[in-house]
Amino acid sequence: MSVRESAVARPPQTDLLASGGSAVSLPPTPRKARAGWRGRLEIGLLVGPALVMFLGFVIFPVVMAAYYGFFSWQGFGVPTQFVGLRNYITILEDPTFQQALWHNVLIVVLSLVLQGPAAILLALLLNRKLRGQSLIRVLIFVPYVISEVVVGTGWSLILATNGGLNGFLNDIGLGALAQDWLADPNIAIWTLMFIITWKYIGFAVILFLAGLQGIPEELSEAAAIDGASWWQIQRRITLPLLGPTLRIWAFLSIIGSLQLFDLVYIIWGQYVSSTAGTSTMAIYMVTNGRNSGNYGYGNAVAVVLFLISLIVALVYQRFVLRRDTEGAITGEGKKR
């Protein structure tokens, strides 16, 4: 499953996080316990397969990653060459990794800054009465549905030095603007950001539209009667009430950006991405782990990537999503 695809499937997670972990304890179901052997057998038969699959393919590998990370290991047999924390020290001292980490940070920040405002404006625009509104929604969502590989292959052909974009610029007399969009280290990261925005903004717009539709119309109507302008209504009423949706989207975007792999790997490949300044931690992990046969090292990178994502997720939950748990904004809105 690609990085952002898991983001589609992700909203419930934020639901889980937003409720401050309380979602893990289910509300009590008022029913008499029926702990007969038959009941137990049913439970076992029904949950068993899912649990075995889940523990075997999700939990076990993650636990093993932490274990393998302490070894120098080529992926054959049982790891024997224990190296302690040396893998981790190498990772953190490697300038290539530091660059990749820095690119990830850039991508996180730029994704929020570029996609957020644009998507809000589009959602506000589309939330008004427009002819052909549903068609516009579908079309904005198209890039999101196409797989990263196809998107990457297509864009790398368009953006090649002799590709479609430079050709188009020449045709309309702006040939001076033609660039080496993919290889120039000053430009490549912006090219990547453009492609990311193009691919994922539809997701943000759809989320925001869903959020906007949850805001009662009476609020803006009342404000309009009191003489508020359209912009005032959006700024004072709509945006604050959209807060929870915005924070959920930001969370998904941050996690997705930290895990970014497919697009960069397809367009730049494992070697070019570091010279073009677009490598990410996941690229580093695959390049220095599997592709060079150092499985112990690759697992250590996975652990680092996981810990960074986990810390970011926990901090975000603690300081940002928490407001939603307390209902600071939604509750207030309802009270009014």
Report 148-177 residues binding other proteins (CB under 8 A).
148-150, 153-155, 157-158, 162-168, 170-171
Tokens standing for residue 137:
């929604």
* 92 vs 178: CA distance, rounded Å: 38
Closest of 34, 108, 17, 58 to residue 308, by C-alpha: 108
213 binds other proteins (CB under 8 A): yes
Q: Which residues 236-265 are close enough to bind other proteins by CB under 8 A?
A: 245, 248, 255, 259, 261-262
Closest of 325, 329, 332 to residue 19, by C-alpha: 325
Identity of the residue, 188 or 303, whose beta carbon is nearer to other proteins in the bound complex? 303
SS3 42: helix
60 binds other proteins (CB under 8 A): yes
Identity of the residue, 16 or 114, whose beta carbon is nearer to other proteins in the bound complex? 16
Identity of the residue, 257 or 274, whose beta carbon is nearer to other proteins in the bound complex? 257
Q: Which residues 284-303 are close enough to bind other proteins by CB under 8 A?
A: 285-286, 289-290, 295, 298-299, 302
Question: CB of 285 within 8 A of CB of 301?
Answer: yes
Identity of the residue, 260 or 276, whose beta carbon is nearer to other proteins in the bound complex? 260
Closest of 186, 333, 313 to residue 250, by C-alpha: 313
77 binds other proteins (CB under 8 A): no
First to last CA, the chain: 43
- Quick note: the x/- pattern for other proteins over 94-133, rule CB under 8 A, is ----------------------------x--xx-xxxx--
Exposed, middle or buried, 53 (CB in 10 Å: 0-12/13-18/19+)? exposed
267 binds other proteins (CB under 8 A): no
